[in-house]
């Protein structure tokens, strides 16, 4: 433990050494982050201020938007700031905090997506019992379980990271602190630790993805019994969920479900689940959802009208 206490900071190598690429990435990710915050806040406020909040699907969607904001904010602001400086550093304590928050919010998002899939399964496959199955008490329990699951997922990985000895060099070939890049610079045999990381991250993601894949397969199979209008509405919602699941789980499984090593491509794949997927979530869930678009227009038109009347 003494050896890593002497390591007060790490140097992040970032995405690229090319100054022009860094300037381009700064503008791109700044726009993406602003769009991400605006889109998810818009969904969050719209749902909270409308009757949709009492529907399980939108209740879970509001939590997903909140998690996306928290999740990407653990990485993106520092990434954007680092693109403007030559020497990108992060303190030891902030690095360990980043490991915990990344896996905490990432794990919570995985379990919220699972709860959303269960909600769609109940709505489409058990429509007569839907109100009973997805009552508010059960929805609350699922959300609490998702946050608790995120903590259970993150603590072992955080404990692993904080227990690693670091003697130098202190250069991390990534744009944020993650467990595999830290294993690469640790001055100890990390084979067993790497296997544990695969079990806690890679296998969790794979098993959850398979559960979601099977559940959506059952849902799509059940849709053949619905009317044409019912199939259209259900497919619109389901394809939105499936798109989010693929965008998030694909890169996660690629990075964490393999022998403990790192590749230069990891930084590109990590962009998908840290920035791209959270940014596209609002677009995916609103552009393909007529009910959501209608409610957003009502909420914001009413707000603007009330503001003009007051003035």
Strands 171-172 and 9-12: parallel
CA distance 32 to 39: 10
CA distance 57 to 60: 5
DSSP 288: T
Which CATH number covers residue 211? Answer: 1.20.1070.10
Number of structural domains found in the chain: 1
Distances (CA, A) of 142 to 138, 146, 174: 6, 6, 34
Domain-embedded: residue 1: no
Residue 171: strand pairing partners: 11
pTM for this entry? 0.86
Domain-embedded: residue 86: yes
User: Do 198 and 80 meet the contact criterion of CB atoms below 8 Å apart?
Assistant: no
Domain-embedded: residue 10: no
User: Do 236 and 188 meet the contact criterion of CB atoms below 8 Å apart?
Assistant: no
Per-residue pLDDT band at 2 (split at 50, 70, 90): very low
- Residue 218 C-beta-side C-alpha neighbours within 13 Å: 14
Tell me: pLDDT of 1 over 50.
Answer: no
Q: What is the pLDDT of residues 225-242, one digit of tens each?
A: 767 766 776 676 677 778
Domain-embedded: residue 58: yes
User: Do 245 and 219 meet the contact criterion of CB atoms below 8 Å apart?
Assistant: no
Residue range of the domain that includes 96 = 18-309
Tell me: pLDDT of 72 over 50.
Answer: yes
Domain-embedded: residue 7: no
Domain-embedded: residue 76: yes
Distances (CA, A) of 185 to 11, 97, 177, 240, 252: 11, 18, 11, 39, 21
Say which residue, 145 or 257, is predicted with more confidence: 145
Per-residue pLDDT band at 290 (split at 50, 70, 90): low
CA distance 140 to 134: 10
């Amino acid at each position: 433990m003494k050896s890593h206490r002497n390591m007060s900071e790490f140097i992040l190598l970032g995405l690229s050494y090319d100054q022009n690429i860094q300037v381009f990435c700064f503008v791109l990710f700044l726009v993406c982050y602003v769009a991400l915050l605006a889109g998810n806040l818009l969904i969050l406020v719209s749902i909270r201020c409308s009757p949709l909040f009492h529907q399980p699907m939108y209740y879970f969607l509001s939590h997903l938007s909140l998690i996306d904001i928290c999740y990407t904010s653990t990485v993106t602001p520092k990434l954007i700031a680092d693109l403007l400086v030559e020497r990108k550093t992060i303190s030891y304590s902030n690095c360990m905090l980043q490991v915990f928050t990344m896996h905490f919010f990432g794990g919570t998002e995985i379990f919220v997506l699972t709860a959303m899939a269960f909600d769609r399964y109940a709505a489409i496959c058990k429509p007569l019992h839907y109100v009973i199955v997805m009552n508010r008490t059960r929805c609350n329990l699922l959300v609490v379980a998702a946050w608790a699951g995120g903590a259970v997922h993150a603590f072992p990985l955080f404990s692993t990271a904080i227990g690693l000895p670091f003697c130098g060099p202190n250069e991390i070939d990534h744009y944020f602190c993650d467990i595999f890049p830290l294993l690469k610079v640790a001055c100890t045999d990390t084979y067993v630790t790497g296997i544990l990381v695969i079990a806690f991250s890679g296998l969790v993601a794979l098993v959850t993805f398979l559960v979601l894949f099977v559940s959506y397969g059952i849902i799509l199979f059940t849709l053949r019994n619905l009317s044409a209008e019912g199939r259209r509405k259900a497919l619109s919602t389901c394809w939105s969920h499936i798109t989010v699941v693929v965008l998030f789980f694909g890169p996660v499984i690629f990075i964490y479900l393999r022998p403990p090593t790192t590749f230069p491509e990891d930084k590109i794949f990590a962009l998908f689940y840290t920035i791209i997927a959270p940014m596209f979530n609002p677009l995916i869930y609103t552009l393909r959802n007529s009910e959501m678009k209608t409610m957003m227009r009502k909420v914001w038109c009413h707000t603007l009208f009330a503001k003009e009347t007051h003035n």
